[in-house]
Amino acid sequence: MRALIVDDEPMQIQGLLKHIRWEALGYRTPLTARSGMEALKVLQENKVDVLITDVAMPGMTGIELLARIQADYPQQQSMQTVIISGFDEFEFVQEAIQLGAKAYVLKPVKTEELEQKLEALRTAAEKKKRLEQETALLREKVTESREVLLERFIKDLTGGWIHSDELLDSWRRLLDLPAGEWQATLFLFDCDSLHLHHSHDAKEQILLGEGLQNAVKLGLDGFSGAYIGTAGAGETAVLVLEAVPEVRARLEKQLSFIQEVLHEQYNASVTVGVSREACSWTEIPLLYKEVRHIIADARLAAYGQIAYCDRHLLNEYHDFRLREEYIPEIVRLLELGENSKAFGMGLLSELARKLKRNQDTDTETNIRMWQRLIDCNGVEEVRKAVLEYLAHYTQHKQKEQTTQQHHLIQQVRQHLAAHLQENLTVKQLAGLYHLNSSYLSVLFKKETGQTISEYVQETRMNKAKELLRDPGIKVYEVAEQVGFQTAAYFTFLFKKTTGTTPQEYRDYYY
Position 311 scores a pLDDT of: 60
Position 257 scores a pLDDT of: 85
My answer on whether 321 and 239 are in the same domain is no
Q: How confident is the prediction for the chain on average, in pLDDT? A: 81
Tell whether the model's pLDDT for residue 442 goes beyond 90: no
Strand partners, 510: none
Residue 130: CATH number of its domain:
3.40.50.2300
My answer on whether 269 and 395 are in the same domain is no
**Is cis: bond before 10, omega within 30 of 0?**
no
Position 25 scores a pLDDT of: 92
The whole model's pTM is what? 0.46
pLDDT band for 301, please (50, 70, 90 cuts). confident
Percent of the chain with pLDDT strictly greater than 70: 81
Position 314 scores a pLDDT of: 57
My answer on whether 154 and 249 are in the same domain is yes
DSSP-derived pairing of the beta strands 50-54 and 80-85: parallel
Q: Which span out of 280-289, 343-352, 377-386 was modeled with the highest average pLDDT?
A: 280-289
Q: Which span out of 18-27, 81-90, 201-210 was modeled with the highest average pLDDT?
A: 18-27
DSSP-derived pairing of the beta strands 3-6 and 31-33: parallel
Position 33 scores a pLDDT of: 93
Angle between helices 284-298 and 311-321 (to 10 degrees): 100
pLDDT band for 341, please (50, 70, 90 cuts). low
Residues 414-420: what's their mean pLDDT? 87
Express each pLDDT in 49-58 by its tens digit.
999 998 888 8
* Ramachandran area for residue 171 (φ above 0: left; ψ -120 to 50: alpha; else beta): alpha
Express each pLDDT in 155-165 by its tens digit.
999 988 988 88
Position 294 scores a pLDDT of: 84
My answer on whether 398 and 475 are in the same domain is no
User: Of 304, 335, 368, which closes a domain?
Assistant: 304
My answer on whether 218 and 194 are in the same domain is yes
Q: Where are the alpha helices (DSSP H) in 303-451?
A: 311-321, 327-336, 340-357, 363-374, 379-418, 426-432, 437-448
Q: How far is CA 192 from CA 7, 30, 302, 494, in A?
A: 70, 63, 10, 37
Q: How far apart are the first and last CA of the chain?
A: 108
Cβ-in-10-Å burial (0-12, 13-18, 19+) of 428 comes to exposed
Position 89 scores a pLDDT of: 57
Higher pLDDT residue, 195 or 425? 425
Residue 509: CATH number of its domain:
1.10.10.60
Show the domain range for 363.
310-449
Tell whether the model's pLDDT for residue 332 goes beyond 60: yes
3-state class percentages of the chain: helix first, strand second, coil last, to nearest 5: 65, 10, 25
My answer on whether 86 and 152 are in the same domain is no
Burial per residue of 188-214, b for 16 or more beta-carbon CB atoms within 10 angstroms, e otherwise: bbbbbbbbeeeeeeeeebeebbebbbe
My answer on whether 276 and 158 are in the same domain is yes
Position 79 scores a pLDDT of: 87
pLDDT band for 318, please (50, 70, 90 cuts). low
My answer on whether 367 and 464 are in the same domain is no
Express each pLDDT in 4-45 by its tens digit.
999 999 998 999 999 999 999 999 999 999 999 999 999 999
Position 187 scores a pLDDT of: 93
Express each pLDDT in 473-510 by its tens digit.
898 899 888 888 788 888 888 888 888 899 888 888 76
> How many structural domains does the chain have?
4
Tell whether the model's pLDDT for residue 361 goes beyond 60: no
My answer on whether 220 and 353 are in the same domain is no
My answer on whether 150 and 298 are in the same domain is yes
**SS3 call for 337:** coil
Residues 297-324: what's their mean pLDDT? 70
Helix (H), strand (E) at residue 250: helix 245-266
Per-residue H/E/C for 146-167: HHHHHHHHHHHHHCCCCCCHHH
Express each pLDDT in 86-140 by its tens digit.
755 556 666 667 667 778 888 888 889 899 989 988 888 888 788 777 776 766 6
User: Of 140, 166, 185, which closes a domain?
Assistant: 140
My answer on whether 424 and 484 are in the same domain is no
DSSP-derived pairing of the beta strands 270-274 and 184-191: antiparallel
Percent of the chain with pLDDT strictly greater than 90: 12
User: Of 304, 338, 367, which closes a domain?
Assistant: 304
pLDDT band for 188, please (50, 70, 90 cuts). very high
My answer on whether 437 and 319 are in the same domain is yes
Q: Which residues contact 413 (CB under 8 A, 6 or more apart)?
A: 448, 455
Tell whether the model's pLDDT for residue 248 goes beyond 80: no
Least confident of 233-242, 276-285, 340-349: 340-349
Q: Which span out of 188-197, 228-237, 456-465 was modeled with the highest average pLDDT?
A: 456-465
Q: Which span out of 78-92, 280-294, 345-359, 421-435 was modeled with the highest average pLDDT?
A: 280-294
The Cα 452–Cα 391 span in angstroms is 34
Residue 229: CATH number of its domain:
3.30.70.270
Position 351 scores a pLDDT of: 67
Position 400 scores a pLDDT of: 74
